[in-house]
Structure 1
Amino acid sequence: MIRQPIVSVLGHIDHGKTSLLDKIRGSAIREKEAGGITQHIGATEVPMEVIQKLCGNLLNSDSLKTPGLLFIDTPGHAAFTNLRKRGGSISDLGILVVDVNEGFKPQTHEALSILKSYKTPFLVAANKIDRTPGWKSQPDKTFMESFKSQSEDVQQTLDMKLYALVENLYKAEISAERYDRVDDFSKQVAIVPFSAKTGEGIGELLMVLVGLVQKYMEKQLEVHKELPAKGSVLEIKQSEGLGTTMDVILYDGTLKKGDKIVVGTLDEPLVTNIKAIFLPNPLEEIRLEKKFKSVDQVTAATGVKISAPGLENVIAGSPIYAVHGEEEIEDMKNFVKSELEEIQIETGDTGALVKADTLGSLEALVRLLTEGGIAVRKAEVGSISKKDITEVGALKEESPANAVIFAFNVKTLPGVDKDAYDFGIKIFGGSVVYSLIDDYTEWEKEEVERRKSRALKNRILPGKAKFMKGMVFRQNKPAVVGLEVLGGTLKPKIELMNKDGILIGTIKEMQKDGERIHEATMGDQISVSIYGASVGKNIFEGDEFYVKMAPSEAREMREKLADILTGFDIAILEETEKIARKK
């Protein structure tokens, strides 16, 4: 038996994820096929008859095997990452929605990274073609029909926007092309232009999805109706009159009222019995969460609400398995435990603490942080506690850059914000991974400068400069000459030595562009007055000068402050140490 594939819709905010699904549902209602669409918890099942109606002549009905498509309609990519099973996501296909006029945005890149990491086949749905300047909409027509009716200028404008998407995908090492130009769908990602507003291209989008399923996924979609159900927890919530319930997407088997299930928690896996299984009422009541109907059993793929004792500690993203015999329970508990341990990530003694709302989000966040070069010491599901602050605070002195917490869609418990402030712990919170990474990167740069400023306060800094030819303004008492700073820092009152380690004088004053300055750094060309220097006696045009330091002083700075000094600073310190040793 072939089940319908589970299709997740991902993309940047406001690029049209929800609008796409609303358009498919709305079109079906206008075609008087609303009764054919079944609303599930977190998902919408669109049967093949409805898809054929929306596709028209684009689909050959004689060869169709899949019963339809099950769209995950929880907005954003959180649902995609939450719905996991061993080895990846339970989603069979992904739709990456991109506003063709805005192109790739932070969440687009984020969603693409997640699709690649889970190795999920996907297509790109290029939305809002109706906003192309000069576009004349042909509501509910196919993309090709509408595209051919546009002027040549409009066609070229849209093609340029589509090629920009192709280029972005190429940079991510993905070969892509407009769907009608794809030679091999197993090697190229199809880009389907459409408009969620006018319906143009919806037919081709559904056609390509069904085509991918028919050609490449038949074996993967075999459902074992007679076996116990397998699924993933989408969400834990309080439901009026039912208490704590869990919304679940089933991807295999059959689930019955009274079944014993094993599901993951933060501690030992929970073993409990299903009291009730609920489905929402028909499509027109999609937004009314309170209205459900009780059913005795359901078969995958489907979304259901489950009522059972002890669900309070179940975590979203955890696996759920039904068991048909007592002898299976311990084996299944160990299986669930091992599956959860896959993503309880600890990478060593240093790195950031990561907290997320679900196991799937945790897994995706850690992967993206690691790819971004940010070390992760520990990763857990749940709110930020005082214990977390104390634990991270203990690492602050040893590694300030790692004394941070990434909080993805989680809250801080009462009193934690004050503790974080007292310990000086930085918390990066939000629901967009790329924003968290950008915020951290900016903070890290600022933190390095702050640490550098504190560590180098009242210290003599390394510096190197060259006496520019033709830049003698006064021979001596004091000598006034032009210097180019080759690296490090020059300041008034510091002593300069030549490449033989011999003291040549002390800087009295510096000017740049006629203005007095108190600091000069690499690349600056300045005029400098030097007491003790005499042009033609102890300094000569073309000479290189160094800030005078004792060998021990240069060595100590190089060893103790290596993490906050630039490569140029360290190189100059090494030169300075060698020169000082000569003397």
Structure 2
Amino acid sequence: MADSKKNRAKNTKDAASSSTVSKNKNAKPTKEDLRSKKLDAIKQKLERQRQEEERLRKEAEEEERRFQEEQRKLEEQKRIEAEKREHRKKKEKERRQRLKDEGKLLTEKEKENRRRAVELAQARGLDLQSMRNNAKKTTYTKLKKKPQAQQQQSRPSFSTEGEKSESPTVEEKAKEEVEEVNSDEEKGWEDLAAELEEIEKQGMIDNVTNNWEEETVQEEEEEVIDDTEVKGEISPSPSTSGDAAAHEPSDKSSSLKASEDQLTEEDKRRLIEEAKVRIAIQQQKLEAPATERVLRSGVICVMGHVDTGKTKILDKLRNTNVQSREAGGITQQIGATNVPRENIIHATSMCDYFKPEDLKMPGLLIIDTPGHESFSNMRIRGSSLCDFAILVVDIMHGIEEQTKESIEILLKRRTPFVVALNKIDRLYQWENYPDICVKEALSKQKDVTMKDFKERFKAVVQDFAMMNLNVELFYKNENPTEYISMVPTSAHSGDGMGDLLAFMCKEMQRRLYKRLTFSEELKASVMEVKEIVGLGTSLDVILVNGRIREGDTIVLAGQEGPIVTTVRGVLMPAPMSELRVKGNYTHLKEVVGSCGVKIIARDLEKALAGFPLYVATDLAERLYYSEEVTHGLKSALTSISVSPVGVYVVASTLGSLESLLTFLRKSNIPYSGISIGTVHKKDVMKASIMVERDNKYAVILAFDVRVDKDAEKMAAEVGVTIFTANIIYHLEASMNEYMENILQENRKKHADQAVFPVKLRILPDMVFNKRAPIVVGVHIEAGLLREGTPICVPSKNNIVLGRITSIENNHKAVSEARTGQEVCIRIDPIEGEAPKAFRRHFDHTDMLVSKISRESIDVVKEFYRGDLNKEDWKLVMELKKMLAII
């Protein structure tokens, strides 16, 4: 009992204490408590701010200390560089003063005299490089110097006994010239060879001395740049550089590449400017004196209309048959033929007025150009390099379209030319006399033949007069500057061919003697880019002047920029053979202009024809010529730009490709890709993109190329059409036929959507039926009226009367009528709409027009554009405003 009472008391006490705690918990904090909490929060915030400020202050101090340290280091570095620069300046001044005291510091005039002496020796044909290699270079050894008399006695001779006996005059002349230049001291050719070393050393010293302020601290870079500059200033002789390049073509190319990578843009620009000045000076020096001029082969270009006999004339001169082997007998590529002097003498033997001794040129280089319209780019390319031109005119047809274009090209380029009045064998009762001159052959013809000749000749003279040109027969022409000479010829029988050659040679030697002088200055142009089985892509090059060697570094134009490569092979066709015809080639180490050659090299797949070809002897010239090529490419590449949508074009040469692209541009056919060579699977894959974009352009045009079997199989699977042809006009006809079929299919498909613009005025006395159908006579004010055209009345809120179902003109049914005609039309109501009646919905005072729409205008633009003339399109614009079409 007592324990239970104690427990109850204990429980009561616990309950009281718990209730007190709960009351304390539920009690609100006092103001003092809140104030103290707030003060604590403020103190904590201030402490955090103080700590943050302290951290920022320390960081600022650290940053300031680091900045001052960097400034101190930078100033120290500048001071060191200034000391080095001052030391280098002092060193260069001391070196210059030492050279001046030793007599090795030459003036510009003295250096120029030495260069002239070296160049003169090179021009005399003396190999100074071998002389320098064989000489005892006592100047560079550490042995004691011998007395001057002893040195002269021990001085070796560079030429053997045989050489002295063979060419003593050349050596004596060269010595005399050198003595004139350097009159201070007499020198032998051994001294001259030693001078080369001195000049090179002097050139390096001068470059270092003149550019010491621009040099960087790195001595290795200085040596690379200075060595490059010396190579640019003192380039080896043509024979020496060619031999060295022939032995190590790959090393030369790689070294040039490595040197270019180490140069800055400023260095490159400096080298380009130096090369520009050096090349200009070199061109002036290469002009031979009038007394020492040696003529090169003259370059002849044969131009004229298609089928006038251009290639046949060359076949007669060469005794070949190239024309019959060409596809369709049509020239579609530029060709070149080397004609030796012996052949010219033989071909002109019947001309008494032209003797063999009168021929000073070593031969002729004749360029044959295509005459078709699409090949205008090749005619321009062929005429750009020629010295003289043969304009072939068919006496039976006179001046034709491409003949006029050729005359304009020749007059624009100021190229002298002679007119070959070809096909005289077609004159009435013409008798062939190929073994006598054409003047005598004409005198032996019958009267009726001469009458026919005079009439046709007079017609040709009138054709030239229409172009403000005077012409006369070559043997009657007493004023060649005012009158263009004409030589009657027959490429079939050979009449007049000798006279043509003789006249050209005489005129070229009389009027172009200075231009025909051979010069070492390179002038060459890429005529064609071809792919040869076994050799890869090659260049057909017309070399007018200068020389090209195996191993030379050449710079030419490419589709993606300048191409720098090394000549791996130089192939020369046989004399009197066509360059473009496959045959036996002679592999040569060197060729001299003028001639047509084939060059084999790497990376020629994207080379462009029609641009000049340069030979670079050092890095500076390579940079300069690359810049020249880049400028020429900017305008040329725009003509080969492709479209996102279009056909794919493949051709055997770039010239043929350009001609095909010219045709496509005239026909408004876009092209999305181009290629040269065989059609492969990759070409089909590129063309197959058009299957999704625009199916009608999923076409490959392959001109004069082979189609790979795998590519042909793949094209059939993916839906690509391939057109192949060896004649460009056959390919054009196939493409035109294909595009016409596509157009006709689309026209049939969209015939219901096509609405042509027309404006009609109702004839009041010609209303035959007023309602369903409406039959009235109308006068066509403007536009084109066709069956199926919906008709509306703009003055009555564009109410639609129906469609024209028939048209009659003079009681005859017609499908269409044009502006100014008066016809009877039948208008049937549109299905599903209430019929309209005359006088209720419209009358004769209302103008009727076709109900065009935005969709119908787009369809007409795409598929019927050629059916509308300029006035019709003006009416379309008028109806758009009238019917509120956007």
Using the size of structure 1 for normalisation, the TM-score is 0.70
Mapped partners of 1:102, 1:183: distance in 2: 27
Mapped partners of 2:632, 2:524: distance in 1: 13
Q: Which residue of 1 aligns with 2:818?
A: 522
Note closer, same or farther for the CA distance 1:165–1:496 as it changes in structure 2 (3 Å cut): farther
**CA drift at 1:45:** 1.6
Q: Which residue of 2 aligns with 1:94?
A: 389
Note closer, same or farther for the CA distance 1:82–1:458 as it changes in structure 2 (3 Å cut): closer
- The 5 Å alignment of 1:431-580 reads 454-455=749-750, 457-458=752-753, 461-468=756-763, 471=766, 480-485=775-780, 486-491=782-787, 494-497=790-793, 506=802, 510-512=806-808, 517=813, 519-522=815-818, 525-529=822-826, 539-540=843-844, 545-547=847-849, 549=851, 554=853, 557-558=856-857, 562=861, 564-565=864-865, 566=868, 567-576=870-879
Q: Is the 8 A contact 1:262 1:332 kept in 2?
A: yes
Q: Which residue of 2 aligns with 1:389?
A: 687
Q: Is the 8 A contact 2:754 2:856 kept in 1?
A: no
Mapped partners of 2:341, 2:362: distance in 1: 6
Matching residue's letter, 1:100: I
Matching residue's letter, 1:131: R
Which one has a larger percent strand, Structure 1 or Structure 2?
Answer: 1
Q: Is the 8 A contact 1:114 1:364 kept in 2?
A: no
Q: 2:566 aligns with which of 247, 263, 272?
A: 272
Q: Is the 8 A contact 1:3 1:66 kept in 2?
A: yes
For residues 489-546 of structure 1, the C-alpha deviation after alignment (integer angstroms, 9 at most, x for no partner) is 3436944537666869556753536878584332665433457555899645xx6742
Q: 2:431 aligns with which of 118, 136, 139?
A: 136
Q: Which has the larger radius of gyration?
A: 2
Q: Is the 8 A contact 1:554 1:573 kept in 2?
A: no
Note closer, same or farther for the CA distance 1:538–1:557 as it changes in structure 2 (3 Å cut): closer
Q: Which residue of 2 aligns with 1:217?
A: 512
Q: 1:24 aligns with which of 303, 306, 317?
A: 317
Q: Is the 8 A contact 2:792 2:800 kept in 1?
A: yes
Question: Structure 2 unaligned runs (5+)?
Answer: 1-293, 321-334, 829-835
For residues 267-323 of structure 1, the C-alpha deviation after alignment (integer angstroms, 9 at most, x for no partner) is 66243255565553x6699999665555554321123455x6647747573654444
Mapped partners of 2:557, 2:580: distance in 1: 29
Note closer, same or farther for the CA distance 1:525–1:309 as it changes in structure 2 (3 Å cut): closer
Mapped partners of 1:80, 1:463: distance in 2: 42
Mapped partners of 1:366, 1:496: distance in 2: 46
Mapped partners of 2:722, 2:406: distance in 1: 23
Mapped partners of 1:256, 1:426: distance in 2: 45
Secondary structure in 2 aligned to 1:220?
A: coil
Matching residue's letter, 2:784: G
Q: Which residue of 1 aligns with 2:491?
A: 196
Secondary structure in 1 aligned to 2:637?
A: coil
Mapped partners of 1:255, 1:528: distance in 2: 78
Q: Is the 8 A contact 2:422 2:490 kept in 1?
A: yes
Q: Is the 8 A contact 1:260 1:273 kept in 2?
A: yes
**CA drift at 1:417:** 6.8
Mapped partners of 1:123, 1:84: distance in 2: 17
Q: Is the 8 A contact 2:551 2:566 kept in 1?
A: no
Mapped partners of 2:706, 2:582: distance in 1: 25
**CA drift at 1:7:** 1.5
Note closer, same or farther for the CA distance 1:347–1:230 as it changes in structure 2 (3 Å cut): closer
Matching residue's letter, 1:16: G
Q: Is the 8 A contact 1:264 1:340 kept in 2?
A: yes
Q: Which has the higher contact order (CA 8 A, sep 6+)?
A: 1
Q: Is the 8 A contact 1:316 1:357 kept in 2?
A: no
Q: Is the 8 A contact 2:755 2:789 kept in 1?
A: no
For residues 18-63 of structure 1, the C-alpha deviation after alignment (integer angstroms, 9 at most, x for no partner) is 3322323459xxxxxxxxxxxxx94232428617834623448787
For residues 317-348 of structure 1, the C-alpha deviation after alignment (integer angstroms, 9 at most, x for no partner) is 36544444565444445555655565333568
For residues 89-113 of structure 1, the C-alpha deviation after alignment (integer angstroms, 9 at most, x for no partner) is 3333333434433566787678678
**CA drift at 1:132:** 1.8
Q: Which residue of 1 aligns with 2:469?
A: 175
Secondary structure in 2 aligned to 1:19?
A: helix
Q: Is the 8 A contact 1:8 1:94 kept in 2?
A: yes
- Deviating more after overlay: 411-420 vs 270-279: 411-420
Q: Does 1:44 align with 2:44?
A: no
For residues 149-206 of structure 1, the C-alpha deviation after alignment (integer angstroms, 9 at most, x for no partner) is 44555445345545665677678x5736354477875676554331112222223322
Matching residue's letter, 2:338: T
Mapped partners of 1:534, 1:95: distance in 2: 74
Note closer, same or farther for the CA distance 1:452–1:127 as it changes in structure 2 (3 Å cut): same
Q: Is the 8 A contact 1:228 1:323 kept in 2?
A: no
Q: Which residue of 2 aligns with 1:34?
A: none
Mapped partners of 2:824, 2:590: distance in 1: 87
Secondary structure in 2 aligned to 1:57?
A: coil
Mapped partners of 2:312, 2:390: distance in 1: 13
Q: Which residue of 2 aligns with 1:4?
A: 297
Note closer, same or farther for the CA distance 1:156–1:340 as it changes in structure 2 (3 Å cut): farther
Q: How many residues align?
A: 553
Mapped partners of 1:310, 1:202: distance in 2: 41
Note closer, same or farther for the CA distance 1:378–1:66 as it changes in structure 2 (3 Å cut): farther
Q: Is the 8 A contact 2:393 2:399 kept in 1?
A: yes
**CA drift at 1:128:** 1.7
Mapped partners of 2:705, 2:306: distance in 1: 19
Q: Does 1:301 align with 2:599?
A: no
Mapped partners of 2:660, 2:349: distance in 1: 37
- The 5 Å alignment of 1:399-410 reads 409=704
- Deviating more after overlay: 3-12 vs 340-349: 340-349
For residues 203-233 of structure 1, the C-alpha deviation after alignment (integer angstroms, 9 at most, x for no partner) is 33224423542354334333214x5674536
Secondary structure in 2 aligned to 1:136?
A: coil
Note closer, same or farther for the CA distance 1:321–1:165 as it changes in structure 2 (3 Å cut): same
Mapped partners of 1:389, 1:54: distance in 2: 58
Note closer, same or farther for the CA distance 1:89–1:474 as it changes in structure 2 (3 Å cut): same
Matching residue's letter, 2:442: F
Mapped partners of 2:579, 2:816: distance in 1: 66
Q: Is the 8 A contact 2:318 2:577 kept in 1?
A: no
Identity between Structure 1 and Structure 2 (%): 24
CA-based RMSD: 5.5
Matching residue's letter, 2:848: Y
Secondary structure in 1 aligned to 2:352?
A: helix
Matching residue's letter, 1:203: G
Mapped partners of 1:304, 1:290: distance in 2: 13
Q: Is the 8 A contact 2:428 2:448 kept in 1?
A: no
Mapped partners of 2:408, 2:707: distance in 1: 28
Note closer, same or farther for the CA distance 1:479–1:294 as it changes in structure 2 (3 Å cut): closer
Q: Is the 8 A contact 2:530 2:654 kept in 1?
A: no
Secondary structure in 1 aligned to 2:301?
A: strand
Note closer, same or farther for the CA distance 1:117–1:395 as it changes in structure 2 (3 Å cut): farther
Mapped partners of 2:408, 2:719: distance in 1: 32
Note closer, same or farther for the CA distance 1:363–1:151 as it changes in structure 2 (3 Å cut): same
Mapped partners of 2:570, 2:873: distance in 1: 68
